[in-house]
């Protein structure tokens, strides 16, 4: 061993270990083993807690996905049937007042109106509601501005008329209302 090197040589280590029984060499003490076991137990406890938390998170996500699927299952069908409701409303709007009073057409008009009410009732039972638009400020989350029209009567940004009705399904937008919005007169 050199003067600068303080490490024992292999020969010195072997000389010190000559009186120690072989089965005690390289064996951890009972305290060391207990500490190691405690550490492993603590790690295992943490792993179990993390696994339980992850399982709960997965269960919650799955329950939310199932609830959303139930709540919004009609979305695709509702989007498709909106065009039918639009066409029915347009048909009713185009019937002149004199034909509405004509005995030949009264029952036809009454039937079309009843069909419109039934569609609205079915929409309501599935959480589908019409978006309010006319007279309200433009809401970009519910309204789609199609035209800006100068108006001295309404505040700029106010919806003047509705070109196509918008609908919500529960708390989600199904279709925005297409609207005409007021702007300052020139």
Res 16: pLDDT:
66
The contacts of residue 143 (CB under 8 Å, 6+ apart) are 131, 133, 159, 166, 176, 177, 178, 179, 181
Contact 184, 155 (CB under 8 A): no
Rounded to whole angstroms, the maximal C-alpha distance in the chain is: 124
Q: In which band, very low, low, confident or very high, does the pLDDT at 31 lie, cut at 50, 70 and 90?
A: confident
Element (H, E) at 180: strand 177-183
Mean pLDDT of all residues belonging to the chain: 86
Indicate if the pLDDT at residue 15 is higher than 60: yes
Res 35: pLDDT:
87
Q: In which band, very low, low, confident or very high, does the pLDDT at 17 lie, cut at 50, 70 and 90?
A: low
Contact 159, 136 (CB under 8 A): yes
pLDDT greater at residue 27 or residue 44: 44
pLDDT greater at residue 164 or residue 16: 164
Q: Would the pTM of this model clear 0.85, i.e. be above it? A: no
Q: In which band, very low, low, confident or very high, does the pLDDT at 32 lie, cut at 50, 70 and 90?
A: confident
Element (H, E) at 182: strand 177-183
Indicate if the pLDDT at residue 92 is higher than 80: yes
Indicate if the pLDDT at residue 89 is higher than 70: yes
Say which CATH superfamily domain 75-183 falls into: Head domain of nucleotide exchange factor GrpE (2.30.22.10)
What would the mean pLDDT of 94-101 be, rounded to a whole number? 87
What would the mean pLDDT of 147-170 be, rounded to a whole number? 90
pLDDT tens sequence across 107-156? 889 999 999 999 999 999 888 999 999 999 999 999 999 999 998 888 88
């Amino acid at each position: 061993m050199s003067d600068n090197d303080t490490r024992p040589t292999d020969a010195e280590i072997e000389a010190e270990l000559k009186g120690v029984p072989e089965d005690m060499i390289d064996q951890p003490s009972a305290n060391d083993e207990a500490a190691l076991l405690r550490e492993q137990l603590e790690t295992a406890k943490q792993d179990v807690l993390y696994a339980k938390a992850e399982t709960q998170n997965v269960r919650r996500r799955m329950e939310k996905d199932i609830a959303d699927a139930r709540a919004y299952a009609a979305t695709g069908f509702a989007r498709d049937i909106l065009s039918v409701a639009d066409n029915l409303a347009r048909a009713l709007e185009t019937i002149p007042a004199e034909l509405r009073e004509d005995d030949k057409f009264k029952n036809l008009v009454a039937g079309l109106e009843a069909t419109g009410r039934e569609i609205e009732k079915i929409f309501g039972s599935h959480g589908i509601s019409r978006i309010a638009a006319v007279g309200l400020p433009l809401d970009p989350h519910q309204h789609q501005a199609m035209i800006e029209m100068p108006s001295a009567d309404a505040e700029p940004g106010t919806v003047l008329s509705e070109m196509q009705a918008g609908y919500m399904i529960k708390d989600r937008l199904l279709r925005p209302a297409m609207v005409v919005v007021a702007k300052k007169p020139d």
